[in-house]
Every structure is written in C-alpha cells, then in structure tokens.
Structure 1
Amino acid sequence: MKILLVEDDPFTGELISATLKTHRYIVELATDGQIALELANVCNYDLIILDVQIPKLDGISVCRQLRSSGCSTPILILTAKDSNDDIVTGLDAGADDYVAKPCEPAQLLARIRALLRRGSAKCEATILTYGDLCLDPALALVKYQQQVVNLRTKEYSLLELFLRHPQRIFSRNAIIDHLWKIDNCPTEHAVTNLIKDLRRQLKAAGMKEEFIETVYGLGYRVKTAPDQGETANKAKKDKINQTEINKFPTESVAINRIFEQFRSTLEERLKILAVVVPEGWQQVNPEQVQKAKEEAHRLAGSLGTFGYPRGSEIARAIEHLLMETKLESQQISRFSQLLMELKQELNNPPQLLEESPSTLAPRVLLIGEKTEFAESLIAEASVWKWQIQLISDKSKVLQQIASATPIAIVLLLNSSPLTKEQLSLLWELRQEFPSIPFITLGEHDNLDSRVQVARLGSEKYLVQPVTPTEVLEAIYQLLLPIQEKDAKVMVVDDDPTVLKILTHLLQPWGVRVTCLDNPQQFWEVLKSTEPDLLLLDLEMPTFNGIELCQVVRQDPKYGDLPILVVTAHNDRQSTQKVFAAGADDMISKPIVGPELVTRVISRIERSRLRQQLDYLHQQQAAIWQQQARIDPLTQIPNRRALEEFLQQQWQQLIQEQETLCLILCDVDHFKNYNDFYGHPAGDICLKQIAKTIQECIKSSDLAARYGGEEFAIILPKTSLDGALRVAQRIQQKISQLQIPHERSKIKNYVTISMGITGKIPTPEQSFDSLIAIADEALYTAKNRGRNTYCLYPL
C-alpha cells in the first residue's frame, strides 16, 4: 500500500516514514504543500497523511484542493494543532480523520489500517488467505498451516500483490512496475527468478498446491483457490502472535539514527526560542518571534513522538504564549519559566516508544577467510542488530543458504584475477538465489574483476580499503522498500458493446476503466477521473474522436495525456487526420485483445516514466541550484551565496537606513597547519571553525566560506558595537576548541584574525567598498601579530 506523507519537520517525517516502512507500507515524503499536490497528481496513493502548518501551501488548503479536484484518496491530518476549532476545520475541509501529535505509533497504524479498509474495497479482508496460506498485512506476517513463512521483502510484496488481486493477470512489466523503483528497473528475467523464488519458499514451507499460475503469452495470476472450508475460517479467527512479526530489519536501524539526529538538534532549536526574550520583549525582531513560534509548533508535534510527551506540552504552551501580540512582564516571566522547564525536561532520558516485537536478527552471509576486517564487520553488524555468519568452507555455502535464507550475501575476494573457484561459486549462487542482494568486496580495483563479477550478476562491487559501515550501508540500499501504482483509462465510445469488450480486456491487467458513451459529457468526466490514458472512438455523434483529441491537446493540464484512437477506418486519409489531431497511436477494429493491451500498457508506462523523469529533473535542478551556493567541505554558504546576500541586504538597507556590518576571518598560519598535520586534518579543522562561527551568529545573519581558510560574516541591522561583540564571541569560542597547532607562531592551538567594518549603505556606493575596508582591517590585524581583530569604520 502506498502512502504520501506531507511533513516539513525532517526528523518527524523520517521517523513516521521509517515506522510505516517497517510495516511494509511504501512511503513518499513531501516537505511542502505544493510538492504534495504535484505528487498527488502524478501518482496514485492509497492514503495521504497531511500536516497542517507546512510551507508554500498549508495542509487545509491542500486538502480542499484535492477534494475539489475529485480526489477520493483517504486523508488523515496529523498535526500539533489540537483545538476543537482546528479539528472541525480539518474535517470540514475533507479530511477523513484528524490525529493530534504526539501520537503513539500503534494508534497511528491502527487509524491508517481503518482508513485503508474504509477507503478501498480491496482492503476489506483484514487477513488475506489462500487455502492454508495466510498473510496478515497489519503485522507483515505470512503463515502456512499456522507456521511462519520467512520471506524476503520482494517475495512478500509479490505474494501480497497476488493475494490482493486474485483475478488479475500480471505481465512481467506490470510486476516490475509494482516491485521496483523507477531508477532501478531490472530485466524481465528478474521477475521470472522472483516467481521461482516465491514458489520455492512456499514449497519449502509445506505448500503442495500450485499457487501461481503461468498464463502463457500474458503473464502470471493466482490459481483458482482450493476449498478453504473450516481451514480458512480458522485462519481468520486465529490471532497471529505479534512476537512472530516478520519485520523488515533495517528500519529499526533507521529509526535509531533518526532519534540520535533529532537529539543532536535540540540545543540549536532551543536557542531559537531563547533569543525571543534575552533582555526584554521590546528588543526582539518580529522575524525572530515568528521563527520561535514556528519552532515551538514543530517541537510540540515532535517531542512527544521522540520520547518527551511532557516536552510537547511545554512547547505547546510556549507556542500559545508567543501568539500574543505583546508580552507583559508577567508573561515574559512565564515564558522564561517554560523555557527553563523545557530545558530541564530535555535533560532527562527519553521515554522509550512502544515498539513492535521482532524476530531474530536478520542474517547476512559473509563468504571468505576469517580476517581482521571480517571480524570488525561482524562486530559492526551487531550494532545494527544484524547477524553476520562467516563461512570459510565454500562447499557448504549452498547448504547454509537453503537452511535459512539470508537477507544479503557478501563475497570477500582476495586475488586478482579471480580464480575459477571464485567465479564458479559466484555463478552458482546467482543461478540458485537470483533475488538475494549480492555484494562483492575485492582487494584490487581493476576493470577485469569488475567486468567478471558484473557479468555474473553482482549488484555492488566495493574495493578495499572500505569500512564495515560502508558495507552495511551498501546492503541497506539494496534492501530499500518498493513502489506501487495502478493505472486509470477513460474509454469514450457510443457503442456499449465495445465499452464492455474494452473493459473486459483491460481490467485483468489491473487497469481501472471509466466508460463514457455520451461524448457531450466528456470534459466533466475527464476532469473528475484524471485518467492516465484516453481511448477514443473515431466516429461518434455530436463530437468525434478527432475533435475530442484536439480539445485535450489544447489544454495546458491535459495536453500531454496519451491518446489512442480506435477506428474501423484504416485508410491513409483517416490515419493522417488522427495523427494530425495529436493522437499517440491508432488501433483498428476489429479489436485484437493482446495488441490493444500491449499498446495501452506500454503507452501508460512510457507516459509515467516521462512524468517521473520530469519530476526528478525538477528536483535535481533545485538541488543543483542549492548546492551551487553551498561550500561542499564546510556545508555553509560559499562566496557566491555571500555576494548575492550582501547585494540584497545592501539594497534593502538603503531604503531602511540601517547599519550593515561585515567581518572577514582568516585562520592563522593555516599553511603550516596543513604541512604538519596533512590536508585531511586541515579539512576537519575548517569544518569545526565553520560550525563554531555559525553557532555564534543569529539566524538572520549569514556566515560563508570566502575562500581557502577565509570566512565572512554578514550582520544586517547590527551596529559596529554589536559586530565587535560577535567577533569577540567567535574568537573566544574558537580558542576554547583548543585545536592543536604545533607549527603556530602564536599559540599551540588554532587561532584566527579578523577584520571588522560596517556602515549604513547609500546609493552612491556598492557593497564592494564594504568588502575592501573589511579586507584592509583584516590585513592590519595580521600585521599586528595575528590572533586579534581590527575595526575600521567607513
């Protein structure tokens, strides 16, 4: 089942995503309302989880627009806004359920299951059965005759796909579309192997009847189920023990990481709140108040989720307090008290969230000699709560895999070129277990070895030296969850018999068909259906297929919709008219079933691929645009970003007649540092300094790497005295780092020199004058012996 999660707080979003993926849901995350709408238009989701306070377009507006466009997908609003008015507003906007943060994972999952059952007829059965075979989607657990069947992720997903659509025929391409990511599509041969693996797993569990039927020339479907009788009733009544959940193993690792990352940001987030009442409400920038209000709202929603329910209550109280237009002395005192209580609460250990029990640690098979690296890999895996089994006797590998299927196989190679024994083992493993992720770890990086293992089907080739964490990360990437989607086709034909034939041909392939026999209703039905493809008859009363095709092509929203025209006329003139009107393809009557299905499915796949690529290109362009302004080493803005920000502030402060200050910083004797400690140590030093500088400035200021070991800080609306205090704070913090520097001619640790300047911008000057004076001040500070600062007012 596919879920769209709309959440702007990165840690809450990652935590909810990881929790849902643990229970086999496929999750796509959107961080603002505009992206959410675009994704909802491109993909089909079974459920949308929607936050209210999100950037660009708030959650209530997103909900209303989805409902007004005819979207019937269940919507669950998950937000920290929990007043009765908020709940009423959300439900009136079209939401199906409303949940206040923080929410226990078990309760959230239960509400999701309830909405999915309510929103789709195919989810009515809580437990999917086929004879004595039983799959419980709520627990992600498969049993045969009450015995747990351990399946890998894709095997489980394939079994669920078949059980949810028992009458449907799936082609290999359709299975690929459901089980693999768009940027990682395998060949059809992989589907054949996956079918074979699932059959073998079910047979090993004791299932004698054939579950999957091959429909030659078309694909696969579920064979007619045996008489279930009392066995099926018993399977439905029997509550599957939660301690046997076949949980996807790596998600617990992801959740733990999210927790750690969240805790590491708390100090910085509390600073955003603390800046509101440093010396009194009157001195605080309204922008800072707004940022503090937004941060309090996010904390109210996320703290309880991460084990601080009391912290959520305090953050919510702070949020309500900040909604006041002006704070009196009593309220300022209350704010300070709440902030102190919040800090004290966050010093306590978090309350552990209720976790779903899991089975034994997932197993990774390591084939090779017992070395120091192998032992360190085994030790690192235990931190991930994985089990690595080392097999040095290669003759026992197949026997070990057959007895207990691993989640991945790692083959350690210690020779180049590869020996016949190693190549033979790799070939045999890929033939017997084609769907198990396979990683090869070699000691030599040469093209021959890479080509040899690539030919034999290794998904990853890593070269020593490599860390154990990198190996486990590579395995984790190969185990990431899958995507799922259905297709909608709108058929317009004035002949009801043709409509029935087309519906009968397409439905077994999982296509949702909307039939229309009155062309006059075409536009209204098109907008309400939002199809992936149009099938139009050429000759119809009132409006013919060519006219309808032209109407679609001239609309900006539907202009790229794939259109197939069905006609009994295949003469040259009719063909020219059809393609001149903008149709993608033409199908002649009488309709040949396999030909129609093949053309429809291929057009839909091609269209979706283009949409996905367009979306990926947009995302990549946004990332590139952002990265073009970020220094890759220190991850703070670069010189280009600094100059753009400086130009913007210069123009703005000309109008406001406020002071703009600039500080240039230079690491003292940094060449000596690199020569003595090496460039990798120098990179670490620059990262520490960049982080420290950022900690010493406000969110409205900008720190950037100016070049080499130079940094620049822009301080809008800050006096020279204020800039001097910032410089002193930076110098003190960097001195406290005590980064060793044996080759320094000043101290035995790293120091910096700074040049400070500032003025009220005027139209007659440019910001270049500010940089020139700051640079001159920095040069003077260096000449004075370094480890100092110099202030040059313009």
Structure 2
Amino acid sequence: MRLLLVDDDEALMEMLAERLIKQRYAVDIANNGEIAQEFLDLFTYDLIVLDMLLPDIDGITFCKTCRQKHISCPILMLTAKDDSKDKVRALDAGADDYVVKPFDFEELCARIRALLRRDGQDATSTLKWGELSIAPDTFEVLYGNHQLHMTPKEYALLELFVRHPNRVFSLDAIIDNLWAFEDPPSGDAVRTHIKGVRQKLKAGGAPKNFIETVYGLGYRLKALEPTALTEAKTPVPASELPTQADMEAAIAKAWEVHQDTMQERLTVLEAAVAALDIGQLSPELQHAGRSQAHKLAGSLGCFGFAEGSRLARKLEQLLQLDVPLDNEQVFQMTSLVEGLRQNLANGGSQQAVSTAMASTPQIILLGAGAEFSQALMSFGTASGLRIVAVCDLTQAESKIREHPSDGIVIWLPPPRAARAMDLLERLGKKIGEKPLLVISDVVDFRQRLIWVQQGVDRILPRSTSPQQVIQDLKQLLQDDPTASKVMIVDDDIQVLDFLKTILSPWGFQLTTLSDPTQLLQTLETVQPHLLVLDVEMPEVNGLDLCQVLRADDRWQQLPILFLTVHEDIPTKQDAFKVGADDFISKSVMVTDLPMKIKSRLQHMQARE
C-alpha cells in the first residue's frame, strides 16, 4: 500500500517513513503543499499523513482541496496544535484522524493501520480470501494451516491483491502502489515477485492460478471456487437456459424487429438510383446510398440473405465512384436494386437459423448407453451444446469425419478400457486442443496416466451425472468464461444484435458498442480480453481506432479482430499493418467468429 507523508520536518518524516517501510508500505515524502499536489496528480495513495502547518499552505486548506478533488483516501492530520477547536476544524475539513506532536511511533502506526482497515476490505484485523489469511498487524500469512514466509515485497504484493480482490492490477499499478517514487523497479522485477508469491502459495496448498493473469491487462486474485461450486450444485431449470428452439426464436424475432430497417435502407438506395437515372444524384444522396448499401451488405449476410449481401456490396462499390456513371452502370445499379428487393421478399432468416445452429458447439458422445445418451443430449441442448451420440466405438473415427466436433466424451467401462488406448491416441491427435473426456471407473494409476498422456482432459466416474458432464464440457470449452470478456464495436445495431445471438452459447461476456467515439471510455470500464472492430464506421475508422490502441501501453497486447464486409486484399493488409490479430468477413462470421475468438483467447493464455 502506498502512503504520502506531507510535512516540512524532514528528519521526523524520514524516521516515520523508515518505520512504515518496515511494515511493508511504500512511502513518498513531500515537504510542502506544492510537491504534495504533484505527487497526488501522479499517483493514487491509500492514506495521507498531513501536517497542519506547511511552508506554502495550511493543512486545513490542503485537506479541503483534496476532498473537493474527490481524493477519498483517509487523511491523518499530524500537528503540534492540541486545541480542541483545531481538531474540530481539521475533522470538519475532511480529516479522518488527528494526532498531536510529539507522538509515539507505535501508536501512530497503529492508527494508520486502523484507518487502512476502515477504508479497506473490512473492519477486522485479519484479511481473508478463501483459505488465505493475512494479519497486517504481524505480517503473518497463512494458507489453511500452513504458514507462508514472504519477503517484505511479496507480503505487500499479496496484501494489495487481498485488499482489492476484484481489481485487475497492471504492472504499472503494482509499482505505483508498492514502490516509492524514487525507487521504481522494472516490470521484470515485479513479475519475479509475483512468481515468488505464486510458488509459495502453491507450496502451501493453494491452486496454481490463485493469482491469475488477466491477458493483456495484469493480475488479480482468482474468483473463489466455493461460490462457483455452490452455484453449480443449484439446479437450473432447463426453461431458463438457451435451447435450440430459443435460438431459432431469437433469430426469427431479431429479423422481425429489424426487417423494417432493411426496407428503409433499400428505399434510400431506390431513391439514389431514381435520382441517378434522371441525372440529379446529389453528393449527399450518393453518400447516404453508399452508407446504406454498406450496412445492408453486412446485416443481410447475418440473416441468411447471402445473395442480398452480395448485391448490396456491388451497389456500395458503384456508389463509391467519384466519376459520373455511364448508362451501362446506371442500368446495372437499377438491376441490382431490383434484385435486392426480390431477395428480401423471398426471405432468408431461416437460413440464418440453420447457419447459427451449425456454429453451436458440437460434442460427440461415444460408447454410452441409450439412457445416458438421451439425458446428456437433453442437458446439452438446454446449455447451448449439441450432442451427437455414437454407441459403437468402432464407428468413432468415421463419425468424427462426418461431424467435425468441438469436443469428445467417451464412455469406457473396464472391459473396454484396455482396448481403447489406440483409439484414444488417434482421437487425441485428430481433435488437437479440443476437450477430450473419459467416463470410466478404472482406478489403475498407470492406465489413467496413459490416458492423460494421450490427451484426455478429464476422467470422470460413471456415477457422474449428465449435468456435471455438461458443466465440465462448458468449462473446458469456454476456458473460464467469467474471465473471457469480449467487446464488439459496430455502428450497425442489427449486426450487434445478431452477434449477441450467435455468441451467447459460447459463454463469452459480451459488451457491444455502436458509437465508436466512446471506445476509449468503454474500454476503461469493461477491461475486455478481446476486441472486435468493424472497419468502416461513421465519424471514425476502425483502422484508425486500432492504430490509436496500439500506441497506448494499456492496450498494446489486447487481441483485436476485424469483422467487416470488406474482403479485398489491400484492406486486410492495412488491418494487419495497424496491429490487427485477425480479419474475418461478415459473410462467414457465424461459423468462424466464435472459434476465432476462442482460439485467440487460448493463444493469449498459452503465451502467458
């Protein structure tokens, strides 16, 4: 935790700072109000110790200024004045405590600890997170019954995380909180401290990822497992979970809501073509027509109007021409608009339903009996997974070729276990990093070791309920969805609504933004793990946004995917030049986008 001492008695402050540093605090010293204000502009402090009389300003005025600037950390007033009126003035100005000089160092440190507890996690003397306990008074760290011996900086680092368990700390934020202004370490040094804390926690029985890496952002404490387990044990009615019928209804409803907008966009194009036909196409109408054609190309593709999307894209290209169009081009535009109207009249949302369902995660279940298979299929459908059951293990490989899967579950009773080794090895190679679960009561250690070496991710007993199997599958598919926050920026509301529909079964936490000018502010609030950008948007270009983010230390490592109707090579090259991680056409986004997002998040995890 970081403290600021504001007092012109340098000798006294040096002695106090030395005491506080021994208690694992980072301490900065300012000998007047101007320097103190400069520190406050640079850093966030957990507590301020403030003298009543400073060379350039009195402490009461400085305290009031801090509160007016919404600096909310505790302020302890330190002064030689012991008059009760001065105490009242200080407390009314916003001070939290008042200590009179001369003071006892131990008492002052105890008051500081008390103020930090009051402003921190809770009002108790012990900080807790799961089985981890920290005693700020004695600097003892316990995990369960195991005492962990931490270096001063390791202790300070752990206390910082426990006092703010839901906050993600970047390397810069950790340095700002734990090191004095005059002695900042390198990023590698901070990583070394984090590694040391993780090793000591693991040795004491904590999970390996007790302090987890939030990709591209920093570090934080992992959410407590008991809460997740309690929620997992609570039965969730199937009616509350997304089913295939729910998805079909959602897409159909989305089309019903937005089809009038599509017609309005088509009307603008018809007006542009009519004006062009009589030689009265204004620049404003041409711009409006080009904008509506661009949006139609993207949104129609989402709803299954593949041909309509192609026609709109051609119209956009023609309307981009600055030179006057010749008669042949005018005739071509008229034909394109007529074809677009017919395509909309013929409908296309059902194709979108089929395509979206094809993007739902598919799991192949091998070797299970009819009763278990039926139950798993039912719970899978309720949870947004499609289960394909294959009873005969000899048909496994052919079925996997017929039905490309996102994961495999194999039911292996003891008689089949030995014969399944070759099959597991072949399946492990075929599915790569995708989840592979085995349900078996085999307890032989060597047998289980071979399975794990062949790529098996989980071995579950045959008593495991279908609900639990689905929970394990979703956990493996989503790679901890609570940490997978995806933000999408597109000026087309229809596209954003459709993306919510097709991405919801994958468990991502979605944030959509239709106003790209609000991107930086929203990024600060959401702190996403992956960003999806459209290329062409009003007011600001997606390529320019990407360029700005790559120049910002906070977002240099943020994965950025471009999702656009533009499929030309120059646009793709421009995207990668400004720092894009991937480029996806809206025409194939239903099938490609979920897997691209998942793959990119897995890649980031592997790098960490």
Scaled by the length of structure 2, the TM-score of the pair is 0.37
Please state which structure has a larger fraction of its residues in helix: 2
TM norm structure 1: 0.29
| Relative contact order higher in (CA < 8 Å, ≥ 6 apart) | 2
